[in-house]
Structure 1
Amino acid sequence: MHNYKKILLAAAATLAFATPAVAADKLKIGTEGAYPPFNLIDADGQVVGFDVEIAQALCAKLQAECEVVTSDWDGIIPALNARKFDFLVSSMSITEERQQAVDFTEPYYTNKLQFIAPKGRDLKADKAGLQGKVIGAQRATIAGTWLEDNLDGVVDIKLYDTQENAYLDLSSGRLDGVLADTFVNWEWLKSEVGQNFEFKGEPVLDNDKIGVAVRKGDPLREKLNAALKEMVADGTYQQINDKYFPFSIY
């Protein structure tokens, strides 16, 4: 999912003074809390979703007491490096830019990017079909960066602070389409308003690896890798996957 350009140098500047992970018996999990079905705040004010359940299962494997902390997406890496939490499980794409500021575990799922638009509208997901269209995406994400790298000057790009705000403008007719993670789009298309929209074309990117982020040099990374490997082997991962998706996203 999400991609950074502006804040990484500032975030990386603090890394030389970073210290190892906190004691493994009490950890804080960071997530956005605004990206269903992966992380969201439910009607009771609880942070829930696929990311959160993966994080809690990792904590169980580590025999650690864990607390979930939310952060705005734009500042989530600086928050990790400022020790607001100990590891970040928020559908974050592993990119070279981010690896300058944080370390990642092995991927815990593989993401795709795909366009959605109103049903029945002749919108082809190529440069000719998108020429002059108004396309939205969440700011500081892989989708937003893909639009800027591939369709700058072809479409009118609108970037939003949250994915939900992009969907709101799509449903109100202010956008011709949205580019976002396939599984997030899939979830929204099941909603009452989302039923009026559909996928357009094949995914434009289909091997986006999503990892858990920790501070640079933190030995917690290898503990999380071992816990993830165990979760996959013993079926814990599959149980969580099946609760959210009728297909494997690993």
Structure 2
Amino acid sequence: MPIDINARFAFHLDQPTDLLLQFEAAAIPEQRILSSDTQLSDAMHIARVPAQDAIGERIWVRAEGDYSVQYTAQVEVDRISPDLGSLDRLDPHDLPGETVEYLFDSRYCQADRMQSFVADRFGGLEGGAKVVAMCQWIADNFTYTPGASNATTTALDSFVERRGICRDYAHVLITFARASTIPARYVSCYAPGVEPPDFHAVAEVFLKDPTIEGGGAWYIVDATGMADPAKTVKIGIGRDAADVSFLTSFGMNDFQSSSVEVSESN
């Protein structure tokens, strides 16, 4: 079933400022863009560039004054979502080279600091079963609390506070997975059923692909439990939220408003 997306946000820039935007659904094999329309305010300069791992696009903008973005799209998602708990882990020496960077620490995900906890709490499990247990632990111990975190909150901060929003849940799950030598990356996305409606974030973990001998694949996992992987529309991916924010400003900006509506098409 197609997913309808309607997103808009606005901000003010006191002086000419460079911005990096990433808010459009990615045109990738697992999701087909049926229609899309992007409306940007006039700017001094606009340029499109490939996003990380060539998943989606980023838009460079240089602008001043009031600036707004409006995006509408309809996307057909065709993603295989196997039983995660049945999937095996790939040994590190069998991992494709492009997945290795997603084992390392990043700005918000300090996996080396969580290795002891992860070994003690999840040490008897492997592969997808371990990831499922990690998600359940987060669900049992965290409270979804809008406003509980900010742009500096790390996975360690969230682990201590036991609360946060989707980005924090994703960061903690990514950190747990990397501490278990399972590649994990951050995914910005749209998904129906997210409350309150907003840009959403989930994790992806790299595990064995049962359809390919010796191969692996990325699988979406939402630690908040709100997004169905089969209905999740990817915007982009990165090591953590720093890589794939819908708005990165290289200078001061006064963020004024945003709204996101995502629904299954009738």
TM-score range, shorter chain: under 0.3
Structure 2 length as normaliser, TM-score? 0.24
Instruction: Considering fraction of residues, name the structure with more helix.
Output: 1
Structure 1 length as normaliser, TM-score? 0.25
